[in-house]
Amino acid sequence: MESYASGTVPSKRSVITIPIDIRISALENTINQQLEGVMYEDNDLRDGDRMMIKATKADRINVRMEGQQLFFSLPASLWVKYDAGITTVEASGKIAMDIHTTYSVKPDWSIATQTQITDHRWLQKPVLKVVGVNLPVGLLADLVLQNTKRRITRAIDQAVSQNFGLGTIVRQTWDTLFQPSLVSPEYGAWLLVDPQAIGMTPIRVNEDTLSTSLIVEAKPTVVLGNQPPNLQPRPLPAFTQFNYQAPGFEVHLGASIPFVEAQRLAKQEVEGQTYTAGKRSVTIQDIELFGQDGQLVVNLRMTGSYNGNVYLKGKPVFNAAANAVEVQDLDFTLDTRSFLLKSGAWLLKSTLRKRLQETMDFYLKYNLDASRKALEDQLNAFNLAPGFHLRAKVGQLGIGRVELQKEGFLIDVKLSGEVSIRNF
């Protein structure tokens, strides 16, 4: 008879830490692509300033970062024609504009920026080689700064949002974690992450790299069988800053293996198999699995020299050395053994029990190995925002406690490994 304990595998908090590394040079490249050529041009001598001006980007824009601030230096070549009254004269020079951007993460995970031109430096002052005529370089600088400000600040804000904007990555990651992922096609193993919370650690800067980590708290489960329905996505939580945690992930899964699915897989291995002992033989026609007081019961229906059912029992346990679930001490039940001693003792001497135990161990072990590899492959194929790539390594997959519930096996599975996001 079937009987099951009322307890369940205790739910454990699962934390996934995803380091994110962003090269500042990628931001620098984007800004240099967006700000090219002529920055400002004034072709009217009669508009009140008595000057025609052309400002052109002279060299590469340099970027450095300190905490929540970005600093840019934009060098520009200047050409100016000046109305000196009696005649018009020309001059050229170079100016460097110092730009400062402060950024922060808004509650919706988008990036808020505030960019301004804070100062300027003459790299080469334009000088008119005409006696008695002085070019108003102060006015010239003011005109260049004032008229390039809008274009420069807009381009920088867009580039910062594009390269540092985590909103798209976080939103896609959050929504995807509510969808079941097929981690083992052969055995129909589906992973449901079910995220509960998400946050980000403080941003750190190390030379050319901006580093932070996404922290995801979840209640994941693994279900074997048909594809489960998508979980109802919860709204993306507002941005929260978490304390730094060690990189990598340790996910505890309440893995469910329904008896109907275990029976289907076991049938693939044993149904139709013939076992012999001397001149006698039996062929397995069907198999049924259920639990009794913490032990797995295997009910075999056989035909041949013996027609009927036999029952075997064994305890599902975790073998740490083999990193696999084994059906320990699988043997005929006392009732079955007593009956066979009277009418079918030859079955007790056959290879049936040994072969069946080997089959049970192989199925569970292979399923876990296949799930680990499939999960790693799926993580590495995950699509993020353009230019960003996810790299994952699932290092270990282990099992804690194994229990038998009415629905099937309930197992505490622990996945550990490393995952990261980067734009290089």
Considering the domain boundaries, does residue 156 fall inside one?
A: yes
Report if pTM > 0.85: no
Considering the domain boundaries, does residue 29 fall inside one?
A: no
- Number of domains the chain contains: 2
CA atoms within 13 A on the CB side of 72: 30
Whether residue 415 contacts residue 16, with contact meaning beta carbons closer than 8 Å, is answered with no
Domain-terminating residue out of 164, 197, 218: 164
The helix (run of H) or strand (run of E) holding residue 257 is strand 248-258
Residue entry with tokens 């504009």: 97
One domain for residues 371 and 314: yes
One domain for residues 156 and 197: no
Sequence letter at residue 158: Q
Considering the domain boundaries, does residue 112 fall inside one?
A: yes
Distance of alpha carbon 71 from alpha carbon 61, whole angstroms: 10
Considering the domain boundaries, does residue 170 fall inside one?
A: yes
For 115-169, the pLDDT digits (tens) are 999 999 999 999 887 777 788 899 999 999 999 999 999 999 988 888 877 788 8
One domain for residues 251 and 396: yes
One domain for residues 203 and 221: yes
Nearest CA to 422 out of 175, 243, 163, 240 is that of: 163
| pLDDT given at position 39 | 92
| pLDDT given at position 410 | 78
Considering the domain boundaries, does residue 334 fall inside one?
A: yes
Long-range contacts of 259-264 (CB under 8 A, 24+ apart): 259/289, 259/290, 259/407, 259/408, 259/409, 260/225, 260/408, 261/187, 261/188, 261/224, 261/225, 261/408, 262/224, 262/289, 262/363, 262/408, 262/409, 263/287, 263/288, 263/289
Considering the domain boundaries, does residue 309 fall inside one?
A: yes
| pLDDT given at position 308 | 93
Distance of alpha carbon 386 from alpha carbon 168, whole angstroms: 10
For 4-13, the pLDDT digits (tens) are 766 555 456 6
One domain for residues 405 and 259: yes
One domain for residues 113 and 181: no
One domain for residues 90 and 216: no
Domain-terminating residue out of 147, 164, 181: 164
Contacts of 156 (CB under 8 A, 6+ apart): 31, 70, 72, 99, 101, 113, 115
| pLDDT given at position 362 | 58
Considering the domain boundaries, does residue 275 fall inside one?
A: yes
Nearest CA to 126 out of 169, 173, 76 is that of: 76
| pLDDT given at position 184 | 66
Whether residue 17 contacts residue 213, with contact meaning beta carbons closer than 8 Å, is answered with yes
Residue 148: give the domain boundaries: 35-164
Whether residue 325 contacts residue 369, with contact meaning beta carbons closer than 8 Å, is answered with no
One domain for residues 135 and 189: no
Distance of alpha carbon 392 from alpha carbon 210, whole angstroms: 20
Domain-terminating residue out of 164, 185, 203: 164
| pLDDT given at position 294 | 86
Nearest CA to 391 out of 20, 109, 14 is that of: 20
One domain for residues 136 and 242: no
| pLDDT given at position 3 | 79
Positions of the chain with pLDDT under 50: 10
One domain for residues 222 and 97: no
One domain for residues 307 and 201: yes
Distance of alpha carbon 24 from alpha carbon 18, whole angstroms: 19
Distance of alpha carbon 133 from alpha carbon 138, whole angstroms: 15
DSSP annotation of 49 reads: S
Considering the domain boundaries, does residue 28 fall inside one?
A: no
| pLDDT given at position 218 | 86
One domain for residues 99 and 237: no
